[in-house]
Amino acid sequence: MYAENKITSCANCARCWTNFRNLTEEELELINKNRYEATFKPSEIIIKQGSPASNAIFLISGLAKVYMEGYSGKNLILNLAEHSTLLAGPGAHVNARYTYSVAAITQVQACFINFDTIRKVISANPGFASGFIEDLSDKSFRLHQKILNLTQKKMHGRLAEALLYFADSIFRSDEFEMVLSRQELGEMTNMAKESVVRIIGEFENENIIHATPRSVKILDRDKLLVISEKG
Amino acid sequence: MYAENKITSCANCARCWTNFRNLTEEELELINKNRYEATFKPSEIIIKQGSPASNAIFLISGLAKVYMEGYSGKNLILNLAEHSTLLAGPGAHVNARYTYSVAAITQVQACFINFDTIRKVISANPGFASGFIEDLSDKSFRLHQKILNLTQKKMHGRLAEALLYFADSIFRSDEFEMVLSRQELGEMTNMAKESVVRIIGEFENENIIHATPRSVKILDRDKLLVISEKG
DNA sequence: AAATCAATATGATATATGTCATGATTTGAG
DNA sequence: CTCAAATCATGACATATATCATATTGATTT
């Protein structure tokens, strides 16, 4: 399942990770030589939690879900990832295992880059190392927010927030395709799928959103924001 | 409240951050010149969430709690921090604000080191940068574990895990001083203080632990482990 | 020793949320 | 197009957990 329209080189890849801009031509060429491109179909697993973390994966295009496999088969979706995103997981620098799984939602085009190469470039280029630290910090920061949200908000707040996440961070529109099932929406907000259904119904009755199984339209963003903030 | 027995220099500081071993003599001297030492009494705030993140703080001695201030005054204790720990928070590289608060539990001796100095050394020394990345990754990894624990385990499992955390990671003994109040234990495991009291009582009745308000002794570690894992 | 204050403890009750059962609807394969 | 499988939806019920009220204990001050 390799892509037809492959990227010819990192040097002219428009969707590459911003931090690659910090590299010299030679370094970029080193990355370019050591990358492998692949395409994934919806629902295919790109990264499997617990497996040896040998490669960082960059998303060139498509949408994927990042999730942890928890106890007794219960998943927790941490976030969605789109193009220009680096997926590595902190485990790479801790126990050489992927800390989370990643699965394609739409068709996904991705680059595999060996960690040895990444580490080499980190050691050689301080600017790149700093960029790497910023990226790690940003992800950690979001995780800190998420842990607060999941533990301190009630169901309505968590779901409202998830809907705003889709609108603001992923689709940049108040009307969007619902790419996750109710079950997955539950895995993202830490609630049962039945509760997701119920609360979406309530939001509809109050004319806050209009929802079908595969689409959502936010009608009253202000109300949704209040619900999201008040928990 | 400055300490009597100050550290004369980073060069001969036995409790320093392991990553400082990657520095050259000159770099270490740069850090040494730009550090400020302070001592905190129990319950004093060392880092305040949301305030400008100008310094990284290294704990030389003592015990502190790292916590997030959430909605409507509800705190979430992320972990305890002891000597040789770097406290900075991802916010330093994201929005220049501290992401979490830190408060002294025992008397705490700490070094303040300006982020400008840290950043300078990161740029100059790839080994140090890599060590920094490892430290960030390690913290992020633990946070990933914590988010799973908090969202997928029931109260008994979360409390059992907290007790094992004290025994294994902080005091390295199955008998230890309980440095947190029941209230704080609740902030750490995301439950009401009444629930903490109740479950500690149950653990005592089943002869799994012996507890007083200020001490805990683990009597049946195996059972506690099972409870912690089964959630 | 008396008095005050905070932390701990315990019981009664309320509520958020999960689980189970069942039916309707959509989707995908042949 | 048809049938099976998955997803969505909804009601009844179970339960984990928070909240409230009230003791009780332990420390600190007067």
Q: What percent of chain B has pLDDT over 90?
A: 90
Q: Measure A151 CA to nearest chain B CA, in Å.
A: 7
Give the pLDDT confidence of A145-192 residue by residue, as tens digits: 999 999 999 999 999 999 999 999 999 999 999 999 999 999 999 999
- Provide the 3-class DSSP secondary structure of residue B214: coil
- What is the CB neighbour count within 10 angstroms for residue A25? 8
- State pLDDT tens for residues B12-29: 888 889 999 999 999 999
Identity of residue B166: F
The closest CB to that of B90, out of A76, A92, A144, belongs to A144
Question: Which three-class secondary structure state does DSSP give residue B81?
Answer: strand
At residue A4, φ and ψ (nearest 5 deg) are -80, -55
| pLDDT tens series, chain A, 231 aa | 444 567 778 888 878 899 999 999 999 999 999 999 999 999 999 999 999 999 999 999 999 999 999 998 999 999 999 999 999 999 999 999 999 999 999 999 999 999 999 999 999 999 999 999 999 999 999 999 999 999 999 999 999 999 999 999 999 999 999 999 999 999 999 999 999 999 999 999 999 999 999 999 999 999 999 999 988
pLDDT digits (tens, 9 = 90+) for B49-71: 999 999 999 999 999 999 999 99
CA/C1' separation B57–C1 (Å):
47
Identify all chain A residues contacting B147, using CB atoms and an 8 Å cutoff: 68, 76, 78, 143, 146-147, 150
Using the structure, give the distance in angstroms from the CA atom of A202 to the C1' atom of C22, rounded to a whole number: 22
On whether any CB of chain A is under 8 Å from the CB of B170, the answer is no
Which chain A residues contact residue B78 at CB under 8 A?
147
Q: Please state, in angstroms and as integers, the Cα–Cα distance from residue A201 to each residue in A52, A189, A213, B199, following that order.
A: 42, 16, 11, 37
- Range name among B8-22, B147-161, B207-221 with the lowest pLDDT average: B8-22
Q: How far is the CA of A213 from the C1' of C6 (A)?
A: 53
Write phi, then psi, for A63 (nearest 5 degrees): -130, 135
Task: Give the whole-angstrom CA distance, residue B78 versus residue B68.
Answer: 7
A152 touches chain B (CB under 8 A): yes
A69 inside 8 A of chain B by CB: no
| pLDDT value of position A1 | 42
Q: What's the token pair of residue A115?
A: 């960690």
Q: Which two tokens stand for residue B94?
A: 């994201």
Place of tokens 């990358």: A35
Question: Does the beta-carbon distance from B122 to A129 stay under 8 Å?
Answer: yes
Q: Does the CB of B150 have a partner CB in chain A at under 8 Å?
A: yes
The answer to whether the CB of A133 falls within 8 A of the CB of B122 is yes
Contact A93 B126 (CB under 8 A): no
Contact B186, B198 (CB under 8 A): no
Interface size A-B, in CB pairs within 8 Å, comes to 136
Q: Is B50 on the interface with A (CB under 8 A)?
A: no
- Please give the pLDDT value at position B186: 98
Between residue 87 and residue 116 of chain A, the positions with Cβ below 7 Å from nucleic chain C are none
Q: Can you give the length of chain A in residues?
A: 231
Do B122 and A172 meet the contact criterion of CB atoms below 8 Å apart? no
H helix or E strand, kind and range, residue B155: helix B155-165
pLDDT at residue A19 in the model: 93
B212 is near strand C: CB distance < 7 Å: yes
Are residues B167 and B159 in contact, defined by beta-carbon separation less than 8 angstroms? no
Q: In this complex, is the C-beta atom of B123 within 8 Å of any C-beta atom belonging to chain A?
A: yes
**A160 interaction partners in chain B (CB closer than 8 Å):** none
Task: Report how far apart, in Å, the C-alpha atoms of B228 and of each of A69, A81, B161, B173, B189 are.
Answer: 17, 32, 5, 17, 12
∠ at Cα A221 (A188, A175), nearest 5°? 70
| Chain B residues in contact with A190 (beta carbon < 8 A) | 151
- CB distance B116 to B76 below 8 Å: no
Q: Where in A48-194 does DSSP place strands (E)?
A: 55-61, 64-69, 75-81, 85-87, 101-104, 108-114, 175-177
Element at B38 (helix H, strand E): strand B35-40
Q: Report the pLDDT value the prediction gives residue A3, as an integer from 0 to 100.
A: 44
Whether CB of B197 is under 7 Å from strand C: the answer is yes
CA A160 to chain centre: 18
A192 touches strand C (CB under 7 A): yes
Length, in residues, of chain B: 231
Q: Which of residues 135 to 154 on A have a Cβ less than 7 angstroms from any strand C atom?
A: 154
In this prediction the pTM is: 0.95
